[in-house]
Structure 1
Amino acid sequence: MTRKPRYVWLADQLRAPILRGEMPPGTRLPSRTRLARSYRVSEQISRTALRLLVTEGLVEARPGSGYYVRDTPDVFRICRTDSTSGSGLGRLAREPLGTEQEPGETPVVERLGLREEEPVYRTTSRGLSAGRPITLHRSWEPAALTVGTLRTPFDAASDAGLLERLGAAGYPVDRVVEEVGVRVLRESEAVLLDSAAGIPVLVVERTHYSGNRPVETSDLIGTADQCRLLYKLTLARPRPRGRP
């Protein structure tokens, strides 16, 4: 049998009482130095073990204070089968943060089939629960589609949906493609989510098409320990036997 690395073994010793409820949320864990002495390991091993528990979502690091057992986070289910192709935030409240025109950069221009630095409209919003940010939503669309009209994200009515707005501009959306992945939270995103850069997040890349032309693409970002993506699929009913 392969022997466990020492930091994994130490993380096991700390994880077990947390999961048994012997160390309730808010409990301060021993310092790295104290752990190293108690378990006869190096401080590097105790540091790595604590970081592993942080990655698992069981422990949080408080700068200048130490490591503490985390509260069990609420789980938010985000429906991805909405009929209007909106944000699908469920019980989260949407907080618009504004729209800006900017030169398109990779990978956005690749997803939209544009040239590098071709102008795009970037719109940002957050999903809130009790005033606390849970998700971040960023969308981009080619400025050329609606520039000079009243259908840009700047000019359209606040209650106008994406499908309605682009359809009125002559680009009816008839297809949506989503790709789901996991990556770490970037610094600029962490600021908007009041979180720490480097933690794992779910990312839903959604692209709207009018025919074969991508007309909008977006990222929905949520922490992996709090967000679940809910898909409901309708299947064709099987034909009864004996019927043509």
Structure 2
Amino acid sequence: MPRDTPYLKVADALRARIRAGDWAVGDKLPSRARIAEEYGVGQSVAQRAMERLIIEGILEGRTGSGTYVRRARVRRRMVRSRQREQHGKSPFASAMKELDHEADWECTSTARVPASEDIAERLAIEPGDLCVVTDYEFLADGLPVQLAKSWEPMAITDGTPVLLPEMGPLGKLGVVERMRSIDVNIATGIELPRPARATREQANLLGISVGDLVIEIERTYFDRDGRPVETANITVPDIRWEIAYEIRVDQPDS
């Protein structure tokens, strides 16, 4: 986009002033009307410029208060790898341990939930077929890291000790270990990441602002016959984490 676009020119000027120290972290910026007057633009242009810097993570808006300089982003790398599903414990716990974080999570499971059309398509079942749905909030050192919602067909787990994912003898060990215990061997998984903006509910749970960039990961696990056995939506706040995928390359026999 050309840099002579008015709102981009104002955004560039504000960004430069913040970097020069005209406003420190936590300082409140002048009102939209004052910025518009100072740069000789309309208030809508000033608003777009400030929204641009909010998206970039330089500013933050506080409802009923104004716009403030935001603390610089500190982002960690979250490595997603199929190998972490084979460690005999939660892949999330394994990932956080590598980063010297204490992992924990809270969850709520509901059985006998009819599958919606989109979930039925992902699980290769009929709409209305019953599932166990589990909502997760994952924590590192007591702070929220990611959210997840998973669906498992009750036709697979009903009547087994692993019907509810986080209860029973294999609770908190992850879906791979749980399914293996009832002779359902997960062989492959597909993850589809997409950028999105945080909803109010997601923002409240993750401790971020409404509209902040998040990564939505649609994950589905398949058994050796290619049957989907679990699907999940995972939400990671982009302001705190970047997603990296580890790819294992099999070596030829020597």
Q: From 124, 130, 134, give the equivalent of 1:113.
A: 124
- For 1:56 and 1:125, the matched residues in 2 are separated by 28
Displacement after TM superposition at 1:92 (Å): 6.0
The one-letter amino acid paired with 2:202 is E
2:249 maps to 1:232: no
Q: Structure 1 197/110 Cα, relative in aligned 2: closer, same or farther at 3 Å? A: farther
Q: Unpaired segments of 5 or more residues in structure 2? A: none
Please name the residue that 2:57 is paired with: 57
Q: Structure 1 148/129 Cα, relative in aligned 2: closer, same or farther at 3 Å? A: closer
2:153 maps to 1:142: yes
Q: Unpaired segments of 5 or more residues in structure 1? A: 240-244
Aligned to 2:186, what secondary structure does the other structure show?
A: coil
The one-letter amino acid paired with 1:104 is A
**Identity over the aligned pairs, expressed in percent?**
29
Please name the residue that 2:196 is paired with: 183
The one-letter amino acid paired with 1:188 is E
Q: Spell out, residue by residue over 1:150-195, the C-alpha distance to the aligned partner (whole angstroms, 9 max, x if none).
A: 2212653334432221122231111111112211223433332233
Please name the residue that 1:242 is paired with: none
- TM-score (normalizing by structure 1): 0.87
Aligned to 1:61, what secondary structure does the other structure show?
A: strand
Q: Contact between 1:100 and 1:123, CA under 8 Å: does it hold in 2? A: yes
The one-letter amino acid paired with 2:231 is T
The one-letter amino acid paired with 1:214 is P
Aligned to 2:57, what secondary structure does the other structure show?
A: coil
Q: Structure 1 107/175 Cα, relative in aligned 2: closer, same or farther at 3 Å? A: same
- For 1:92 and 1:74, the matched residues in 2 are separated by 18
- For 1:103 and 1:192, the matched residues in 2 are separated by 25
2:10 maps to 1:10: yes
2:212 maps to 1:199: yes
- For 1:196 and 1:110, the matched residues in 2 are separated by 32
Q: Contact between 2:18 and 2:24, CA under 8 Å: does it hold in 1? A: yes
Q: Structure 1 105/198 Cα, relative in aligned 2: closer, same or farther at 3 Å? A: farther
2:228 maps to 1:214: yes
Q: Contact between 1:84 and 1:163, CA under 8 Å: does it hold in 2? A: no
Displacement after TM superposition at 1:202 (Å): 0.8
- TM-score (normalizing by structure 2): 0.84
After superposing the two structures, state which structure 1 stretch, 26-35 or 162-171, moved more: 162-171
- For 1:198 and 1:103, the matched residues in 2 are separated by 30
2:179 maps to 1:166: yes
Aligned to 1:83, what secondary structure does the other structure show?
A: helix
Task: Count how many residue pairs are aligned between Structure 1 and Structure 2.
Answer: 240
The one-letter amino acid paired with 2:193 is V
Q: Structure 1 218/196 Cα, relative in aligned 2: closer, same or farther at 3 Å? A: same
Q: Contact between 2:132 and 2:164, CA under 8 Å: does it hold in 1? A: yes
Compute the RMSD of aligned alpha carbons: 2.5
Aligned to 1:95, what secondary structure does the other structure show?
A: strand
The one-letter amino acid paired with 1:176 is G
After superposing the two structures, state which structure 1 stretch, 86-95 or 20-29, moved more: 86-95
- For 1:188 and 1:104, the matched residues in 2 are separated by 22
Displacement after TM superposition at 1:201 (Å): 0.7
Q: Spell out, residue by residue over 1:7-51, the C-alpha distance to the aligned partner (whole angstroms, 9 max, x if none).
A: 111111101122345432112111101111111111111111111
